[in-house]
Structure 1
Amino acid sequence: MTATPPAGRGPRRIGPFEVPAVGLGCMNLSHAYGVPPEPRAAEHLLRTALDEGVTLFDTAALYGFGANEELLGRVLTAHRERIVLASKCGMTGVDLYHLHRVDRQVPVEESIGAMAELVQAGKVRALGLSEASAATLRRAHAVHPIAALQNEYSLWSRNPEQGTLAAAAELGVALVAFSPLARGFLTSAPPDPGTLPERDVRRQMPRFDARHYPANLELRRRLDEIAGGAGCTLAQLALAWVLSRAPHVLAIPGTRSVAHLRENLAVLDLAVPGEALDAAGEVLDSATVHGARYHEATLAEIDTERCGAAG
C-alpha cells in the first residue's frame, strides 16, 4: 500500500480557534450510555486528555442535565487558557456555543439572532449549530458567522456528504464529526446489544437491534481485516477516514477508557494508506449499512433528516 501523510497532521480551525483535529466528546462521561463512570475516573480521563494534548472539549447542558458541565468545570477551570470549550445551550463563558437542535417551530434566524447577543455581550466567543442541514446553515450564517457545524459523521453515517460538508467548506465553517466511531461499533470492543444497560441509547437505535446488527458485524469484520493490513486498529482506521474527508473536518470521539483515548489520539501521527481508507469507505457506507441511525419518529425531528442535507 502507498504511504500517505497522517490525516490529522497539523491544527485545524474552528472560527477564531486552532485545535488538533481530534478533540474529546464528553457526553458519555455523564449521559446516554448507562451508568456513568465514577467521578474520579471521569476526572482522571479528562486530566489525561489534557496531558495528551487535547484542547477541544465538547459538552452540553443536556449531558447529565448539567452534571457534565459541572464535571468539566471542576477539571478544566484551572486550564482555561489552554483549551477551547464547546457547549450547547447551558453554559456562559464558553468559547463555542452551539444550538443543540434546530427548533422546527422557531425560524433559525431568530435563534441565531438571540445567540448573537451573547457574543456581543462577551459571554461566548463563537456560535455553532448541531444536526443542521446545509440550507439551515446558510440561513444561520447570514445572520451571524457560524464557526462550527456538528453532525454525526462516520463510515456508516454519511449525511454530511449530501450537502453540508460542501456548504461548510464554502462558508469557512468547521464540520465537527460526532460519533465518528459509530457509538463504539468501530472499535476493538463493539457493544453486545444483549448486555447494554437499560438506559443505553443504543437500545433504541435500529442498527444495533437483532434485525440488523449481525449483518453490520459482518461488515465490521471486513473493516477489521483492512485495518490489520494497514497496520492500525479499527478505531484508528475509522478516525483517519473521517479526518481524510476534508481539511475543515474535525472529530470528537468519546470514551471512558484512557487506553482508548490514547489509541484515538495516536491517529494524529499515523499514516494510514489511502488504499485502506478507500477500501473502508467501500465496505461500509450509507448503502451497505443495515438499519437507520434512529427510529422514524426521531429522524423526523432532526433538521438534516427532515430537510435533506443538501437543503
Structure 2
Amino acid sequence: MAAKLPRVKLGSQGLEVSAQGLGCMGMSAFYGQPKPEPDMINLIHHAINAGVTFLDTSDVYGPKTNEILLGKALKGGVREKVELATKFGVKHDGSWEVKGDPAYVRAACEASLQRLDVDCIDLYYQHRIDTRVPIEITMGELKKLVEEGKIKYVGLSEASASTIRRAHVVHPITAIQLEWSLWSRDVEQEIIPTCRELGIGIVAYSPLGRGFFSSGSNMIEKLEDGDARKYLPRFQPENLKHNKILYERVNELARKKGCTTSQLSLAWVHHQGNDVVPIPGTTKIQNLEQNIGALSVKLTPEDMAELESIASASSVKGDRYNAGLVTYLDSETPPLSSWKA
C-alpha cells in the first residue's frame, strides 16, 4: 500500500482534499460497459484507505447510476472520510440538454442527495454552462443551497474566464474543473490565470489524456464497444498517427526518469502548483496505485521544460470533443438584465 497522500487546500473557501482525486465516471459510463459494482466499491475503498479521499461523480454518469454506486460505497462510516464532488447541468433523457435555471438546479441537487444518500454535498459543480440563463441566476440558486446546508462549496466545469468572474461575484467559486494534460493545454492562456487571480482551486480532469498516456497509442484497439473515446477526434486514424509521436517522446523521457509514461504525465500536472488537483479515473487497483506513485516523481525545471517543448499546442492533432458538445469556448451567458423568470 502506498503512503498516505498529502492534503491540499482547494480554493480559498476552506475546502481541503487529497492532493490527487479519483474520477469515478468510467466505472459506470462512457468508457465501455459498466463495471461490476462489488469490484468498483472495493476499488473506491482501496483508494480511500490509500488517502485518495476526493471523489468525483456527476448525475449524468450512467445517467444517475454512478451516484448510486458512490452512495453504496459511502455506507458504514465511509462518508466522513471523503470529500464528495458531484455535478448537475447536463440532462439526458434520450437527448442531451444543458440546463441551469433555478428550478432545475434545486431539483437536480435534491435528486443527487437522494441517490448519494447523503445530507450534504461537499463540492457541487455546474457541469456545463446553460447559455440561455445568466450565470448570476444559476449561481443565485446555488448560493441558496449553500445557505440551506445542502452543499458546502460551489464549482464550475468548462467555464470561460469571463463566466467565472461573473459567477464569483455572486458567490465565491471554490474550484473550476477543466481538462488539463500534456495534450490539452489551451486552458493555460486565460482560465488558469483567472483562477489564480481569484483564489479558485483547479481540478484537472482527464489528466492522462483519456487514457492515452497510460495505454499508449494502441489503446484504441483495446477499447470495448460503446466506448465514447472511439469517436473522439484525437483518436481518429488520421490524427492518431501524428499523436503517437507525442506519446513516444513522453515515453522516452519516462524511461530516463525510471517511471511509467502515465506517472510522468500525471507528475507534470501535479507540478503545475499546489492549487491543482488532478482526478485521474480508473477501474483497476494496479492503475490506482500507479497513479498515486506519480506523486513521488520529482521533475526538475529542465524536465518540465523538456515536457513542455514536447507537448506544445502544435504537437496534438484533433479537437478535444466532437462538434456540438458544449465546452468553455461556448459558455458565455446572457446579461443579467435580460433574464425574465
Mark yes or no: TM-score above 0.5: yes
Determine which of 7, 11, 33 is the counterpart of 2:8: 11
Cα displacement string for residues 194-250 of structure 1 (whole angstroms, at most 9, x for unaligned residues): 453332111221100011111111210111000111121111111111121222111
Gaps of 5+ in 1: 1-7
Contact persistence 1:181–1:238 (CA under 8 A): yes
Contact persistence 1:126–1:147 (CA under 8 A): yes
Distance 1:246 1:265 in 2: 17
Distance 2:294 2:219 in 1: 26
Contact persistence 1:29–1:37 (CA under 8 A): yes
Contact persistence 1:150–1:176 (CA under 8 A): yes
Contact persistence 1:153–1:242 (CA under 8 A): yes
Instruction: Name 2:277's counterpart in structure 1.
Output: 250
Question: Considering only aligned residues, what root-mean-square deviation do their CA atoms show, in Å?
Answer: 1.7
Instruction: Name 2:179's counterpart in structure 1.
Output: 152
Percent identity, aligned pairs only, is 39
Matched, 1:167 2:191: no
1:271 shift after superposition: 1.7
1:1-311 matches, within 5 Å, as 11-14=8-11, 15-77=13-75, 78-89=77-88, 90=108, 91-92=112-113, 93-190=120-217, 192-298=219-325, 301-302=326-327, 304-306=328-330
Q: RCO (CA 8 Å, sep 6+): is it higher in 1 or 2? A: 1
Distance 1:219 1:268 in 2: 22
Cα displacement string for residues 173-214 of structure 1 (whole angstroms, at most 9, x for unaligned residues): 101000000000011455532453332111221100011111
TM norm structure 1: 0.91
Cα 1:276–1:134, aligned 2, differ >3 Å: closer, same or farther?
same
Distance 1:213 1:129 in 2: 31
Contact persistence 2:232–2:320 (CA under 8 A): yes
Distance 1:153 1:240 in 2: 12
SS in 1 for 2:32: coil
1:9 shift after superposition: 5.8
Cα 1:65–1:285, aligned 2, differ >3 Å: closer, same or farther?
same
SS in 2 for 1:227: helix
Contact persistence 1:150–1:178 (CA under 8 A): yes
| Amino acid of the structure 2 residue aligned with 1:150 | Q
1:307 shift after superposition: 5.9
Contact persistence 1:97–1:127 (CA under 8 A): yes
Instruction: Name 1:3's counterpart in structure 2.
Output: none
Cα displacement string for residues 2-32 of structure 1 (whole angstroms, at most 9, x for unaligned residues): xxxxxx9652324322122210011001111
Distance 1:170 1:42 in 2: 38
Moved over 6 A (4+): none
TM norm structure 2: 0.83
Cα 1:115–1:307, aligned 2, differ >3 Å: closer, same or farther?
closer
Distance 1:174 1:191 in 2: 34
